């Protein structure tokens, strides 16, 4: 995997962990609106990570095909 993509995925993973901690805090404080916002952020981060991994696979296949 390209180092730049690895770095972006790592940063997104850290952001997801941070948001999951926020979610737990909101849950304990019963802040339902904040929980909904936080869960949406987590879902979007998961989606971005998955898309980056798929893009990397496609790029690797394309690179191998051209070689």
Instruction: Kindly give the confidence (pLDDT) of every residue in the chain, 67 residues in length, as a single tens digit, with 9 standing for 90 and above.
Output: 688 999 999 999 999 999 999 999 999 999 999 999 999 999 999 999 999 999 988 888 887 766 5
Those residues whose C-beta lies under 8 Å from the C-beta of residue 49, and which sit 6 or more positions away, are: 9, 12, 13, 16
Residue-level pLDDT at 24: 97
> What is the spatial distance between Cα 18 and Cα 60, in angstroms, rounded to a whole number?
30
Q: CB burial class (10 A; 0-12, 13-18, 19+) of residue 38?
A: buried
Residue-level pLDDT at 66: 62
């Amino acid at each position: 995997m390209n180092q730049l993509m690895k770095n972006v995925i790592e940063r997104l993973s850290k952001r997801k962990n941070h948001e999951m901690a926020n979610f737990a805090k909101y849950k304990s404080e019963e802040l339902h609106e904040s929980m909904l916002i936080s869960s949406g952020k987590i879902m979007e981060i998961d989606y971005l990570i998955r898309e980056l991994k798929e893009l990397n696979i496609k790029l690797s296949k394309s690179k191998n095909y051209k070689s």
